[in-house]
């Protein structure tokens, strides 16, 4: 009788944890970052809080998002939205494969890392479909808590 109550409690706990995790996981997520492409905003091993609730049409320039890489579906990339559909992008030509103005196509976004010299992003692979973007970074929680506003829009966005 005691054993069966223990099993029962264990199943209840596991079941509740699974349900809670599933509901939570469809809305927010903790992510650990690696790589230099978003320095100094995000450093290696920083931990952030991301959310999956914002609909695509509410994304703004300056938002930091996590997306599936267009070159490799097994990896996730974290970059800043510099332009939305219809937005114009210009390149100074020093590192990009193109020099003229480009317009971001419908349903796409233009992403760039904050660390311009050390980031593979839309300057190399072009604007990516919004369907690849999964979530938006709300705040960093490590090394210290920082709420990330969208007001830090880099100078070269259009």
Nearest alpha-carbon partner for 70 in 12, 136, 107, 125: 125
Contacting a second copy within 108-127 (CB under 8 A): 108
Select from 16-24, 39-47, 86-94, 140-148 the region that touches a second copy (CB under 8 A). 16-24
Q: Given the DSSP bridges, would you call strands 108-112 and 128-129 parallel, antiparallel or unpaired?
A: antiparallel
Cα radius of gyration rounded to whole Å, the chain: 19
Shortest Å, Cβ 85 to a second copy: 9
In the bound state with a second copy, the residue whose beta carbon lies nearer, of 41 and 119, is 119
Q: Given the DSSP bridges, would you call strands 28-32 and 76-83 parallel, antiparallel or unpaired?
A: unpaired
Q: If binding is defined by CB under 8 A, does position 135 make contact with a second copy? A: no
Instruction: For residue 62, count CB atoms less than 10 angstroms from its CB and return exposed for 0-12, middle for 13-18, buried for 19 or more.
Output: middle
Contacting a second copy within 45-84 (CB under 8 A): 56, 67-74
Residues forming the site for a second copy (CB under 8 A): 15-16, 18-19, 22, 56, 67-74, 105-108, 128-133
- Tell me the catalytic residues: 37, 79
């Amino acid at each position: 009788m005691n054993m069966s109550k223990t099993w029962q409690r264990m199943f209840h706990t596991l079941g509740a944890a699974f349900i809670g995790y599933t509901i939570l996981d469809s809305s927010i997520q903790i992510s650990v970052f690696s790589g230099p492409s978003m320095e100094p905003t995000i450093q290696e091993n920083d931990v952030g809080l991301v959310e999956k609730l914002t609909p695509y049409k509410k994304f703004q320039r300056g938002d930091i998002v996590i997306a599936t890489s267009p070159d490799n579906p097994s990896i996730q990339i974290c970059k800043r939205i510099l332009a939305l559909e219809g937005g114009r992008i210009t390149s100074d030509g020093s590192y990009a494969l193109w020099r003229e103005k480009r317009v971001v196509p419908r349903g796409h976004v233009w992403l760039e890392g904050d660390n311009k010299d050390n980031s593979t992003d839309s300057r190399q692979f072009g604007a990516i479909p919004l369907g690849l973007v999964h979530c938006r970074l709300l705040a960093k929680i490590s090394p210290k808590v920082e709420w990330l506003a969208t007001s830090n829009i880099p100078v070269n966005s259009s």
